[in-house]
Amino acid sequence: MGVAAEMFGRYRLDAVLGRGGMGEVYRAFDTEKGRHVAVKRLRRDLAADRVFQRLFRNESERTARLAEPHVIPIHDYGEINGQLFLEMRLVDGVDLGTHLTRRGALPPRSAVTVISQVASALDAAHAVGMAHRDVKPSNILVSGLVTGVPFAYLVDFGIAHLAPEAGGTVATTRGALLGTLAYMAPERFEHVRNADGRPVDHARADIYALACVTYECLTARKPFSGEPIALMWAHLNSPPPRPSAVLPGLSTALDAVVARGMAKQPAQRHPSAGAFAAALRDAVGDETDPRTGPPTGPVGTAPRPTTRPMSGPRAGGGTAPPAPPQPRRLSRRALLAGASGLVAVAGAGTLAARLVGPGTSGGTVRWSAPTGGQVLARPSAAGTAVFGASNDGALYAFGAADGSLRWRFATQAAVGSAPEVLGGVVYLGSDDGHLYAIETTTGIQRWATRLGGIVHSPRAAGGVVYVGCADAKVYALDVIGGTVRWSAVGGNDMHQVVLAGDTVLVGGSDTYLYALNGVTGERRWRFATKGAVSGASAVAGSTVLTGSTDGHLYALSLTDGTPRWQVDGVGSAAVPVVLGDTVFVAAAGNALVALDLATGAPRWRFETTGTVQTPAVAGETVYAGCADNKLYALDVADGSQRWSVTVGGPVFAATAANGAVYAGAGDNRLYAVST
């Protein structure tokens, strides 16, 4: 008789698909939803680390929000029987490392197709401040390699580096350790900061790793080999190897692109993963497989990705590689210290890497596009598109690079909500009382659910979309068909929803901020202000920040709503934004203020000549639109102005992504301004 499959909560674990230092991945069957999925179950000891738990949930949530076809969709995450887990789409494919080991190097066109798709996934993550930090062949799942039409997924986003940062240790095999070392950028061996004192740019480190993977795809060899110390030394000092030295028939243009991608100095690498991929495509041209000669029939390739460089001139594949930089000379003692703490080094740095801005000067309008009305709420950027909801009743999709109109979706009334993007679908609330689900690539409606009043800005996670409504209810709807899972009644119009793990936070016009159980809709607590809570809250660790029309900003405990501090003098519908230990919020008197997260003490105040809108933060800069027709860029540390740009009308809520700030304005246009 066969051995019965193990049950893990609602999942039947049918087979082990892979094992790693943090746990195992299973082919599983979801007995509640009746579908086959992949379940990653983490080691039991990791769930005991409360800091790791928080980071795991935060990063899982962020990864689930990546609307990019080459990122494995995360359906659900959480804890079952004392073990953390992720539920993901089950992919019928093989990891790239296994394929290279079994079948050898890829044909150049297939290699470039796979790398371009991985680059698209990385660009989407980098655009929202995420970095992968463990790009390697075993973290790339590929199908269709044999048929010549490969499709790649980049996996393990968001959690590969968490355990070291949570203070724990990761048990891993020597082989796995060497596997990660083979793709690590030189600056990562210097821990959190470069030799010049600047923080490590993990987005550029991802590009280095992608270049290493490219070399391996073309040659079936890792760029460098040897013991840990030898590998570290090679990354720090040895020139990038040339693929054509292994396969003489390969174009030397590919050598140049790989060399730039593996440049020792981050600033000498391509400005984005998409730029690196574009250079590869230019370099491969009509390249044929040097091992087999010209093809005798059509060669199938995936469509050319639309990713483009975020900055600087497009890197041509035929250009010479950058001049060799001065090697990073580290003492043998330093190398030994690094080798003894390799796992910690692999995860060093902050959770969100700062995105490198474009080469153009900050405050330059990249493009503006007409929207038929005003885009009052923050736009949403996902992949290569930007979505803006206009009070002319339509949702617009523009190309992030050039502002070209991709599609327009019309509702039956004005739209004042912010669009929410998840898994290739954009969710939109409209004043016509519907919540819409629209395909991001085509603008085709998947479903529309009629609710009981004006529908506000939705949020989606874990297969559920949550939204507040003017009928005094909060709704949880299934992302697949829009069926209502539950609804909870408040005292009046329920406004913008914010998600914090399994807690749903929503403000009401009845003066309360509500905390609800995301699974059942049951109330966990509510906090009374003296005015309507109509803006979105912000969550930072265990602290909730919410504004009210009573002119106060409140800091509350996420656990039970206990007040921690409050300050007055904020805008009547202020929406706070948090970066690190600083809160940024619009203040009364036409100002933006920065407050200490722990105490509410003021850090700086920047005054304008008009009402300040909801700000956006990226890297070391906070961006804020203003009724004086300007978009301001301020230093997060001291509030000093870096630049401002004037447009044709009051500037509304902003979003920072793709090296740009996107915001609607009173002249009925959506603007993209270089950061």
**CA 531, chain centre distance (Å):** 34
Query: Residues with Cβ < 8 Å from 383, sequence gap 6 or more?
Result: 67, 68, 120, 123, 124, 127, 400, 440
Tokens matching residue 74: 């995360």
If you write DSSP's letter for every residue of 115-140 in order, what string do you get?
HHHHHHHHHHHHHTT---S---GGGE
How many Å apart are CA 214 and CA 157, to the nearest integer?
A: 19
Q: 441 in helix, strand or coil?
A: coil
Query: Residues with Cβ < 8 Å from 326, sequence gap 6 or more?
Result: 264
Alpha carbon distance, N-terminus to C-terminus of the chain: 64
C-alpha pair distances (Å), 386 with each of 398, 424, 660:
5, 13, 11
Q: Phi first, then psi: what are they for 186, rounded to 5°?
A: -55, -40
Amino acid at the residue 47: A
Q: Phi first, then psi: what are they for 185, rounded to 5°?
A: -70, 150
Beta-bridge mates of residue 616: 623
Q: Phi first, then psi: what are they for 379, rounded to 5°?
A: -70, 165
How many Å apart are CA 308 and CA 77, to the nearest integer?
A: 32
C-alpha triplet 538, 544, 549: angle, nearest 5°: 70
The conformation of residue 3, written as its DSSP 8-state character, comes to P
How many Å apart are CA 572 and CA 547, to the nearest integer?
A: 8
How many Å apart are CA 624 and CA 42, to the nearest integer?
A: 40
**Catalytic residue (choose from 95, 134, 201, 255):** 134
Cβ distance 366 to 631 under 8 Å?
no
49 is catalytic: no
C-alpha pair distances (Å), 354 with each of 130, 161, 579, 662:
8, 16, 12, 18
Query: Residues with Cβ < 8 Å from 465, sequence gap 6 or more?
Result: 420, 422, 427, 435, 437, 458, 459, 476, 477, 478, 479
243: part of which helix (H) or strand (E)?
A: helix 243-246
Tokens matching residue 180: 């990660």
Other CB atoms within 10 A of residue 649 CB:
15
If you write DSSP's letter for every residue of 330-347 in order, what string do you get?
--HHHHHHHHHTHHHHHT
Please list the active-site residues: 134
